[in-house]
Amino acid sequence: MYKDFFHFNEMPFSLTPNTDFFCALAPHNEALKVILTALSMSEGFIKVTGEVGTGKTLLCRKLINHLSDRFVACYLPNPYLSPDELRIAFAKELGIKTDKTKERVNLHNNIEEKLLSLKAGGRQAILIIDEAQALSWDSLEILRLFSNLETEKSKLLQIVLFGQPELNDNLDNQRVRQIRQRITFSYSLRKMTRAEIDYYIGHRLVTAGGDEGLIPRYLRPFVAFTSSGTPRLVNIVCHKLLLSVYGEGKKAATSKHLVSAILDTEDCRRRVLPQKRLFFLSLALVAALGTWQMTLGGL
């Protein structure tokens, strides 16, 4: 692989969410601020939605790492759970020893006692659920029951839901209107702009210990266009781009490497093909200009 060839400490465009590569761009920074503000106010439900590949899981992990000791974070990355499984998973995150043969009411009471104990010690429990659009109706009802746990002055549990836009559709259903009314803070993650993608690519290259010039800036607007601003697609294209550069033993990407990476990435190829003549002509002109500028810079 190209890690050693380019002298990286880590792979810069891995799809595994790594908080070391968290890039404090406006969408994620704003979302993090909204969540932390809501948590500081001890509000019940908080919702963050975003299209596939916009960095919700990375934001989840960044949030957990960012929380102070005052909070006890319970993270459920897999919401494909029955109501009983959801209770058990939450109890385990709270450090409660569970027995699958216990009656449901006992487990619920144990959870309430644990939450009361945490509150008495000045700590606040937070249940963070990723991919929340996959929660069943029954599991959503369990979350509503959890949100009922409170003292006379504050909630015993705050719930943060991360999900795709389908989560909004699910919450529009009348059968979960009680949950919908309890969501006091919401944030919708937007995709990155061209300027943000330029910065994002450079940030990841440098954070990995490499040279920002590996992917010249004149190529980055084309990565932005073909990825539609989706971080995951940016990572995929840039990874394939560096693979192609490495395969030829080069020290920097060219338009040829970019075309290869784009055409090998399904969603990016679909975006290019309807206007491929204009796209490839623009790329050729910009690449020629970029090469000319780099040549002048070396004189």
pLDDT of residue 295: 46
Beta-bridge partner residues of 129: 76, 161
Structural tokens at position 240: 């394939």
Average pLDDT score over residue span 46-72: 94
pLDDT at 67 (0 to 100) = 93
Whole-number Å distance between alpha carbons of 234 and 200: 9
Asked whether the predicted pLDDT for residue 286 surpasses 80, the reply is: no
Average pLDDT, the chain: 89
Sheet containing strand 183-189, strands side by side: 71-76, 124-129, 157-163, 45-50, 183-189
Rounded CA separation 116/164 (Å): 32
Residues whose CB is less than 8 angstroms from the CB of residue 15 and which lie 6 or more positions away in sequence, other chains included: 232, 235, 236
Residues 114 and 108: their CA atoms lie apart, in Å, by 10
User: Is pLDDT at 290 greater than 80 in this prediction?
Assistant: no
Residue 168: left (phi > 0), alpha (psi -120 to 50), or beta? alpha
Contacts 24+ apart (CB under 8 A), 72-75: 72/118, 72/123, 72/124, 72/125, 72/126, 73/126, 73/128, 74/125, 74/126, 74/127, 74/128, 75/128, 75/130
For the chain, give the number of residues.
Answer: 299
pLDDT for res 197: 97
Per-residue pLDDT averaged across 212-225, rounded?
93
> Residue 274: its pLDDT value, please?
64
Residue 160 in contact with residue 127, Cβ under 8 Å?
yes
Its pTM stands at 0.87
Percent of the chain at pLDDT > 90 equals: 73
pLDDT computed for residue 261 by the predictor: 93
Question: Which of 294 and 201 is assigned the larger pLDDT?
Answer: 201
Do the beta carbons of residue 46 and residue 160 sit within 8 Å?
Answer: yes
DSSP string spanning 202-246? HHHHHHTT--GGGS-GGGHHHHHHHHTT-HHHHHHHHHHHHHHHH
Q: Calculate mean pLDDT across residues 252-274.
A: 88
Closest CA to 280 of 255, 253, 245, 243: 255
Kindly report, residue by residue over 77-105, the tens digit of the pLDDT.
Answer: 988 899 989 999 999 999 998 766 555 56
Residue 296 has pLDDT above 50, yes or no: no
What average pLDDT does this structure show over 188-202? 96
- Give the pLDDT confidence of 155-186 residue by residue, as tens digits: 899 999 999 999 999 999 999 999 999 998 99
